[in-house]
């Protein structure tokens, strides 16, 4: 909360707050459904390569593109689904987070296996639960060197390629979405040369 207030104050002269979504850590980093999210995230140098545009002209090098979605879960539907079927929707066992070898093609982990795309669709992802008077769900954030990987993942999730829709849509849906450019920084200040041109 304090960091958020500081950020709002720092950006006050150039931005207007439209929406604030308070998120939190649940059960050691799980979604409110009880499943771990983002377990296939790249790490180390691979994370930097996936999330940061490195080989670009000055003003773009060091920047990132962010995609944000707020998802709302229908827990009445979710709780009526037997545990084994929930595991099939996700493609992992809730109990130990092990990927299911025999998960159906609609399983979320199969629809979004970043290495299965050509070119690979690696992103640096971070999701956190939210809950308020309007419901509860997941706030999804992904950073990429472009928005191409995110677009490829979404197209596969909705079945645009093969008609197979991601199992997640049986109990959750996005209610917002936005794309953002995160400029690089030089000496602690934003480098906005890319938009000054």
Gap between the Cα atoms of 130 and 106, Å rounded = 25
Strand (E) or helix (H) holding 12: none
Gap between the Cα atoms of 74 and 84, Å rounded = 18
Contact call for residues 177 and 69 (beta carbons, < 8 A): yes
Predicted confidence at residue 82, as pLDDT, reads 98
Gap between the Cα atoms of 90 and 58, Å rounded = 41
Average confidence (pLDDT) over 148-166: 96
Domains of the chain, start order: 2-184 (3.30.70.1030)
pLDDT tens per residue across span 48-92: 999 999 988 889 999 999 999 999 999 999 999 999 999 999 999
Gap between the Cα atoms of 7 and 104, Å rounded = 43
Binning pLDDT at 50, 70 and 90, where does residue 197 land? low
Is the pLDDT score of 93 beyond 80?
Answer: yes
Residues 6+ apart with CB under 8 A from 105: 111, 164
Predicted confidence at residue 91, as pLDDT, reads 97
Predicted confidence at residue 6, as pLDDT, reads 87
pLDDT tens per residue across span 17-55: 888 899 999 999 899 999 998 888 899 999 999 999 998
Tokens describing residue 70:
């707020």
């Amino acid at each position: 909360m304090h960091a958020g207030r500081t950020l709002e104050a720092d950006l006050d002269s150039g931005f207007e707050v439209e929406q604030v979504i308070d998120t939190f850590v649940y059960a050691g980093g799980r979604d409110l459904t009880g499943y771990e999210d983002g377990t296939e995230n790249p790490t180390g140098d691979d994370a930097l390569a996936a999330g940061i545009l490195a080989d670009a002209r000055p003003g773009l090098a060091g920047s990132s593109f962010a995609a944000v979605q707020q998802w709302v879960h229908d827990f009445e539907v979710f709780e009526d689904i037997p545990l084994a079927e929930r595991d099939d929707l996700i493609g992992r066992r809730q109990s130990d987070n092990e990927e299911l070898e025999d998960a159906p093609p609609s399983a979320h982990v199969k629809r979004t296996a970043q290495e299965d795309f050509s070119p690979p669709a690696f992103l640096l992802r971070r999701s956190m639960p939210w809950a308020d008077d309007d419901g509860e769900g997941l706030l999804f954030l992904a950073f990429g060197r472009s928005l191409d990987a995110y677009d490829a993942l979404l197209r596969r999730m909705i079945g645009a390629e093969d008609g197979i829709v991601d199992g997640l849509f049986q109990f959750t849906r996005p209610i917002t979405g936005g794309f953002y450019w995160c400029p690089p920084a030089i000496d602690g200040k934003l480098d906005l040369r890319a938009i000054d041109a």
